[in-house]
Amino acid sequence: MGKASQLRSLITRDELGFLMEAHNGLSAKIVEEAGFEAIWGSGLSMSAAMGVRDNNEATWTQVLEVLEFMADHTSIPILVDGDTGYGDFNTMRRVVRKLESRGVAGVCIEDKLFPKTNSFINGASQPLAPMDEFCGKLKAGNDARNDPDFVIVARVEAFIAGWGLAEALRRAEAYCEAGADAILIHSARRHPDEVFAFAREWQRRSPLILVPTKYYNTPTAAFRQHGIAAVIWANHLLRASIRAMQRTAKEIYSAQALTPVEDKIVTVSEVFRLQGADELAEAEQRYLPAPQDEAKALILAYARGEEMAELTVDRPKAMVHIGGQPILQHIAETFRSVGVKDLRVVRGYEKESVSLDGLTYYDASTEEKFDEVFALSSALECFSGALVVCYGDVLFRKFIVSELIDSKADFCVMIDVNWRSSRNRNRYADYVICDRDPVTATFYDEVWLKSVLSDAASEGIHGEWMGFLKLSAKGATICRTIIEQWLQRPESLAGVDIRGLLNRIVEEGHRIQVLSTAGNWIDCDSALDAIDGSEFTWLRVRRSLKRSGVAASVWFRGYRVLIWRP
């Protein structure tokens, strides 16, 4: 049943019906959720909510906009308070057509003059419309409607304007003749005497509607006894909300704090619920492309890094400061800058010192016999969905992460083809042999990994592995399986590093894509690397050097080098 038919049946059936006032989409929703069958689109409430007077200060098209929000947000019919019809018969025709097109189920017009004044403001001085002219307006409205069930209610203001019962009845009779579907007989008295007198005389010639705002203590049973079709609770949500807003504003103002009101007001989630946030979430599932598998990062920050000398007495090397902040913080910022927000960290040595905000931590055993893959195994749950594994002692440009993430391969590593220029050739490093020389590969060529070695003197090295391994969701599952197999014999994990893992992946027949760069990163292996690393933010280091104490000292080319920690 359409909304107009629902409204028509509410006023024509034998049982008393109730309409509850609403003045915007939110209050309309609240009316529906409370169980009401229909909404009264009150002119008083809508104008008050807009901050204007109930004197047609809001134009009828502005009212129409509000009604559209109310109709869209609810499934029960709206009977709108159409004041005097906002003009003559011609305006009335247009109003009816527009109301129908916005999903409004009916309109009530009152026999006063445009611009009207609210009936409770000096009602006795309000002139009534000429009866014939008003009948013409009702006829025009009738003829304009597309849906024959669209309801047109004629509101008789004779009592408000100080005319008696006879005039009220005369007008009601004429309005019914002109095609009104129901009569709303209004009164500003504290007692329902005059409306009940009208009802007795009216004898249910058409459905009769009352607005008991002033005679509010009339028992509902009395409406039933007098054969009333419907009553309108005309402005009570507006008035309730004004009281609540005034109290809340005052309390917050005087407390200069929110605590006194928090328990007295609805939660923000209740606001979202009323707005229909759930429906949008469901629709997103239906209509938006499946979300990209967002890569997370797993950063290995468990090793002390003895080569860092005194710098790592109380912290792992991932927490050594470079340029005023720990290496791990630099790494986290670089990942975040390219949209990788889910950052997980494996910590071990002096784990309490690794506690930067916004990271998820896994704790690995720091027993010496265990190595990288054992550390990874403490974070096995990360191996679902795309993942970038990265060492916690590298500083790198953000494009390196972007390129790894963009790779469609299940496994992908980044290498430095400038590996020969490394200052410290004695440091621990992994060297990579590829299926072709990445330096001469063209834009279209893909380069794949053959093996990873630790010996820089080996033949055919194409670059140094920079400590990044990107896994697709499938790649992550494969890695997880390999690690789980190893974990079945934990001893076999002693000394197994990621190099071993990469070689194992290749041995199992999977392909590891190799991306390359020249430089653009620093592997902070020694205390001197920590100084090198400061090139990234040299000025900040200089500044921090001034206000900090010596943290470590190392010999470098015959000189004693002192290192400060910010």
* Partner from ligand SPV, Mg ion, none binding residue 432, C-beta < 5-8 Å depending on class: none
Binding mask 235-274 for ligand SPV (x = CB under 6 A): x---------------------------------------
42 binds ligand SPV (CB under 6 A): yes
Let me know: does 144 contact 96? Beta carbons within 8 Å: yes
Query: Is residue 43 a contact point for Mg ion (CB under 5 A)?
Result: yes
Active site residue 54: yes
Task: Note whether 118 binds ligand SPV by CB under 6 A.
Answer: yes
Instruction: Give which of Mg ion, ligand SPV, none residue 213 binds (C-beta under 5 to 8 Å, depending on kind).
Output: ligand SPV
Task: Given the residues 54, 83, 416, 430, select the one marked as catalytic.
Answer: 54
Is residue 211 part of the contact set for ligand SPV (CB under 6 A)? yes
Length of the chain measured in residues: 566
- Per-residue contact string for residues 59-88; x = within reach of ligand SPV by CB under 6 A: ----------------------x-------
Least Å from the CB of residue 171 to ligand SPV:
17
Ramachandran angles phi, psi of 546, nearest 5° = -60, -35
Stretch 62-101: interaction string toward Mg ion, x if CB under 5 A: -------------------x--------------------
One-letter-per-residue 3-state SS of 281-325: HHHHHHHCCCCCCCCEEEEEECCCCHHHHHHHCCCCHHHCEECCE
CA-CA distance, 342 to 334, in Å (whole number)? 12
Say which DSSP state 410 is in. Answer: S
Question: From residue 120 to residue 159, what is the string marking binding to ligand SPV with x (rule CB under 6 A)?
Answer: x---------------------------------------
Residue 544 binds: one of ligand SPV, Mg ion, none (C-beta under 5 to 8 A by kind):
none
Any contact of residue 21 with Mg ion (CB under 5 A)?
Answer: no
Task: Quickly tell me which residue has 């009601």 as its tokens.
Answer: 172
In the complex with ligand SPV, the residue whose CB is nearer, 48 or 514, is 48
> Least CB distance from residue 199 to ligand SPV, whole Å?
18
Residue 517: which H helix or E strand, with range?
strand 512-517
Q: How far is the CB of 148 from ligand SPV (least distance, A)?
A: 25
Q: Which residue has the tokens 């506690």?
A: 355
How big, in percent rounded to 5, are the helix, strand and coil portions of the chain? Answer: 40, 20, 40
> Residue 217 is inside which H or E element, if any?
none
Q: For residue 111, with 0-12 CB atoms within 10 Å meaning exposed, 13-18 middle and 19 or more buried, which class applies?
A: buried
Question: What is the spatial distance between Cα 265 and Cα 236, in angstroms, rounded to a whole number?
Answer: 18
Q: Is 213 in the site for ligand SPV (CB under 6 A)?
A: yes
Chosen from Mg ion, ligand SPV, none, partner binding at 235 (C-beta under 5 to 8 Å by type): ligand SPV
**What is the spatial distance between Cα 454 and Cα 357, in angstroms, rounded to a whole number?**
35
x/- mask, ligand SPV, residues 340-379, rule CB under 6 A, reads: ----------------------------------------
Is the Cβ of residue 43 or residue 207 nearer to ligand SPV in the bound state?
Answer: 43
CB nearer to ligand SPV: give 118 or 218.
Answer: 118
- Tell me how far apart the alpha carbons of residues 335 and 359 are, in angstroms, rounded to a whole number: 12
Q: In terms of CB distance, is 42 or 516 closer to ligand SPV? A: 42
> Any idea which residue has 């005059």 for tokens?
194
The CA distance from 342 to 237, in Å, is 45
- Determine if 123 is a binding residue for Mg ion (CB under 5 A): no
Residue 174: φ, ψ to 5°? -65, -40
Question: Is-contact 328 299, C-beta < 8 A?
Answer: yes
Quote the CA–CA distance of 545 and 533 in Å, as a whole number.
Answer: 14
* Interface ranges with Mg ion (CB under 5 A): 43-44, 81
Active-site residues, by number, are: 54
* Interface ranges with ligand SPV (CB under 6 A): 42-44, 81, 118-120, 211, 213, 234-235
